[in-house]
Copies of this chain bind each other. A is one copy, B any other.
Amino acid sequence: MASPKNDGSVDDNNGVDYVVHYKIPVKEKAQAEAGYIELIKALTTVGLASEVRRASKDSLYVFVKIASNELLQKQVYRSRLQDWLHGVRSAGPNQDVAKTLENEPVTEAERLRLVYLMIIKPENEGGAGITEKVGKWKHVDAIFPLQNRAFNKEWISTWSGKYLLEEAEIHNIRERFGENITMYFVFLRSYLRFLVIPSAIGFSAWLCLGQFSMIYAVATCLWSVVFFEYWKKKELDLAVQWGVRRVSEIQQPRPEYQWEYEQEDPVTGEALRVYPPMKRLQTQILQVPFALACVIALGSLSLTAISLEIFINEVYNGPGKQYLTFVPTVILVVCTPIISSILMTAAKALTDRENYATVDAYHAALIQKQFVLNFMTSYMPLLFTTFVYLPFGHVLIPALDFWRRTAQAITFSKAPLATREFQINPQRISAQMFYFTVTAQIVNFATELVVPYIKQRAFAKAKEIQAKRSEETVQDNPEEAEFMKRVRNEYEMDVYDVTEDYREMVMQFGYLNLFSVAWPLAPCCFLVNNWVELRSDALKIAMSCRRPVPWRADSIGPWLQTLGVLSWLGSVTSSAIVFLCSRDRDGERGGASNFTAWGLLLSILLVEHFYFLAQIVVRTVLDKLESPGLQKERKERFQMKRRLLQDHLGQDVADRPAAPGIENSEKITRAALEEEARRTSIRGKGLPSEIFWQRQHGMQETIDVGRMFITQMDVKNGKPDNTAQPSPRA
C-alpha cells in the first residue's frame, strides 16, 4: 500500500471527498427513492464508496470518497498520461506508477478534481455521469467538497501579518484550491502591485497638475499597455510553471449539449458529436439585437435619470429640492437591477440556445454577454457625460423642457417654476467618478462580505429556532454531531464564483483607464480597496462560501480580452475627456456648437495611435525577455529529446553539431576516390563525369596542379598558355 501521506485526503473531514445533498420532495418520493438507489449504484460502479446520513426533514447527505488508494493512484496516473497526450506536460509520466507518485505527490486539489470528474463525467467516458439538478438527477441538489479547516485557519492567520502574497503561499493555495482560483489571486496581486504606479502618478497629478491633465492620461494609457502585456506574459509563464499550459484545450463536455450527427475526428480518429456551426452562427447573430436591446433599455433609463438629475440639480431651483435630489438615484437603484436581471435571463437563454459543446465555450459566451451588460450599467452614465453632456449639452434642453412641463403639470401651478439657466458643468464627471470609485466600492464591499455573513448567520439562527419550535431537528449520532453540524453549515453557505471577482477587478480596471483622468485620486482608492479585497476574497473563500471544486486553468480566460478592449478604449475616452474638459475649465468655449470637433478628433487620434505604438514597443521589449517558466519548459523539452536521442543512437550525437566526422573524412576521401579509380580502370574509360573527377587524385594533387596554374600565370604574364590541361600523371 502506498504511503498514506500521498493521497491528498483531509483527515479533519473523516476522509470525505464530496458531499452530495439529495432532496426527497414529499410529492415525488417514489421517484426520488428510485433515483437515490441509482445514485448509489452509479457511484459504486465507478469506484466511489458512499455513506448516507439524514440531512434535514426532506433530504439526505451522501458522503463520497474514493474506494481505495490503488484506484486513486490509477486515476492520477491516467490523468497525467492524458495531460501529456494533450501537450500539457512536456515529459510523459514514468512507466512505474509508484515512482511517478513519489516524484510528484498527489495534492488535495488533484485528488478532489479527479474524484469530482469521476462523479460528473459521462458514462461513456468512464464517469458516473451525475449532474446537479439536470435530467434524471434533478433531485441531486448539490455536490461539494468540505473545507480544509486547519489549512484555512492557518492561511488567514498568516496572511493578516503580511503585505502581499508570497510564493510559498501561492503554492499552498494552489495545492488546496487548484489553479483556477490561484490564478485569480496571482492576478489580483500583480494588479495590486501595478496599481502603485498610477496611484503615485495620480497623486502627484492631483497635487501639481489638477484634473484633466493630458500627461496623466498618456501615463495611464502607457501603464495599462504595460500591465496588459505583462500579464499576458505572466499568465503564460505561470501556466508553464504550474504544469497546466494548454489545459484549457482539455474540454469538459456540457451535459446539456445536443448534437445532430457524429463525425470522425481527423486527428484522433474518435467519434465527434457535431452541432452544425452555421446553425450556431444563426443563433449567435441574435447577439446583435441583444446588444441593441441592452443599449436601448439601459440607455433610455440612464437618459431619463441623468436628465432628471440635471434638471433637479442644475436647473430646478424650487421647493423641495433637497428631497427631489434623491429621486433619480432611486429610479436608477430600483430599475437597473430589474432591467439587468431581465436582460441577464435573456443572455442566459440566448447562450443556452447557442448550444455549446463544452463547459468552457458556454461560460466564455455567457461572460461575453454579461460583460456587455456590465459595461452598460457601469460605464453608461460616465460615457453619457463624456460624449453627450459635455460636447452636446444643448441637446438635453428638450429633455429638460419636458421635465419642466411635467413638474408644472404635477404641481398644478400656472406660475413658472423657479429655475436657473442651464449651464454645462464639467465637474459633473468628477463627481460621478468619485461616486463610482468611493461610494460604490464601499457599498460593494458591504454586499460582498458583510451581507452574506449576516444573512448566513440569520438563516442558520432562524432555521434553528424554526426547527426547535416544530421539533423537527434530525438527530445525529452523538459521535458525529459536531461533524454533521459543520456539513450542514457549509451546505448553507453561498456558492463561490471566481467570475464575479474577476468581473469586479476588470470593471475597476475599466474605470481607471476610461475615466480616472477626471479624478486622478481614483487609483489610490483602488489601491486601498484592492489591498482589502485580496484579504476579503480569501476570507470569503475560506469562511463564508462552500469550498469550490479545484479546477485547473491556464489563463484568466475571456477576461484577458476584455482587459485589452478596456485598455484600448481608455486611450479614446481619456483623450476625449481631457480635450473637452480642460478647454471648458479655461473658459475658452463660447457656444456649445462652436467647440472644435477637429481638435477633439485629433487628440483622440493621437492618443490612440500613441497607444498602438506603445503596445508594439512594449510587446517587442517583453518578447526579448525570456520568462523563467518558458525557459524551464524549453529546457525540459530539450533534455527529454536529447535523452531520447541518446537512447536511439547509443552515443551522445546530440551534443555534437551536425558536423561530419572530421577525424576520418580524409580517409573517406582517399578511400572513396581510389575506389572510384579502381572501378573506372576496370570498366575502361568511364563516364565524362568520372573522367572529370579523376584528373587530380586526392588533395595533394589538386594543390600541386593549382600551384602550377598559379606559377604559369606568373611566368607567362600576359602571354597565352598553349599547353593543354596539364596532368601530373602524364
Which A residues lie at the B interface, using CB under 8 A? 11, 13-16, 24, 26, 29, 32-33, 36-37, 40-41, 44-54, 57-58, 60, 62-63, 65, 67-68, 70-71, 74-75, 78-79, 81-82, 84-85, 87, 92, 95, 117-118, 121, 125-127, 266-268, 277, 470-480, 483, 596-598, 600-602, 604-605, 624, 631, 634-635, 637-638, 641-642, 644-645, 648-649, 653-654, 656-662, 665-666, 668-669, 671-673, 688-689, 691-693, 695-696, 698-699, 702-703, 705-707, 709-710, 713-714, 717-725
Contacting pair A470 B710 (CB below 8 A): no
16 A-B pairs besides A29-B713, A60-B709, A81-B658 with CB distance below 8 A are: A37-B707, A47-B669, A50-B699, A51-B702, A52-B702, A75-B658, A85-B641, A85-B654, A92-B641, A126-B659, A277-B624, A472-B718, A473-B720, A474-B721, A475-B724, A477-B725
22 contacts between A and B (CB under 8 A): A15-B693, A24-B710, A26-B713, A29-B714, A40-B699, A67-B669, A67-B673, A68-B668, A68-B671, A68-B672, A71-B668, A81-B653, A81-B658, A85-B645, A117-B658, A121-B659, A126-B658, A267-B634, A471-B720, A472-B718, A475-B722, A475-B725
Q: Pick the contact of A692: B14, B79, B470, B673 (CB < 8 A).
A: B14
Nearest B-chain residue to A51, judged by Cβ: B696
- How close is A426's CB to chain B, nearest CB, in angstroms? 21
The 8 Å CB contact of A665, one of B15, B47, B709, is: B47
Residue contact A692 to B480, C-beta cutoff 8 Å? yes
State how many angstroms separate the Cβ of A76 from the closest Cβ of chain B. 9
A286–B598 Cα distance when bound, in Å, is 35
- Rounded to whole angstroms, the CA-CA distance of A659 and B81 in the bound complex is 12
* Residues in B neighbouring A474, C-beta threshold 8 A: 721
CB A662 to nearest CB in B, in angstroms, measures 6
**Contact assessment for A51 and B475 in the assembled complex, using a CB-CB cutoff below 8 Å:** no
Cross-chain contact B14 with A642 (CB below 8 angstroms): no
Q: Which residues of B contact A471 (CB under 8 A)?
A: 719-720
Known: A688-B14, A709-B54. A126 touches B638 (CB 8 A): no
Residue of B with least CB distance to A727:
B477
Asked if A37 contacts B703 (CB within 8 A), the reply is yes
The answer to whether A661 and B74 touch (CB under 8 A), given A475-B720, A604-B605, A699-B40, is: yes
Considering the chains assembled together, what is the distance between the CA atoms of A725 and B277 in angstroms?
A: 54
Bound-complex Cα distance A340 to B663 (A): 50
Are B713 and A24 touching (Cβ within 8 A)? yes
CA distance A707 to B39 in the complex (A): 12
- State in angstroms the CA–CA spacing of A11 and B687 once bound together: 10
Contacts of A267 in B (CB 8 A): 631, 634-635, 638
CB neighbours (8 Å) of A624 from chain B are 277
Indicate which residue in B15, B597, B693 contacts A598 across the interface (CB closer than 8 Å).
Answer: B597
**Least Cβ distance of A127 to chain B in Å?**
7
Beta-carbon contact of A82 and B657 below 8 Å: yes
Q: Which residues of B contact A16 (CB under 8 A)?
A: 692
B26 near A717: Cβ-Cβ < 8 Å: yes
Contact of A720 among B47, B472, B672, B709 (CB under 8 A): B472
Nearest-Cβ distance from residue A85 to partner chain B, whole angstroms: 5
A-B interface, 10 closest residue pairs, ranked by CB to CB distance from nearest: A126-B659, A47-B665, A598-B598, A477-B725, A68-B672, A78-B658, A601-B601, A597-B598, A14-B689, A44-B699
A473: nearest residue on chain B (CB-CB)? B720
Q: Would you call A85 and B14 a contact (CB within 8 A)?
A: no
Q: Which residue of B lies closest to A719 (CB)?
A: B471
Residues of B close to A665: CB separation below 8 A: 44-47, 67, 71
Contact of A657 with B125 at beta-carbon distance under 8 Å, contacts A688-B14, A710-B36 already known: yes
Contacts of A50 in B (CB 8 A): 696, 699, 702
Residues in B neighbouring A706, C-beta threshold 8 A: 36-37, 40, 52, 60, 62
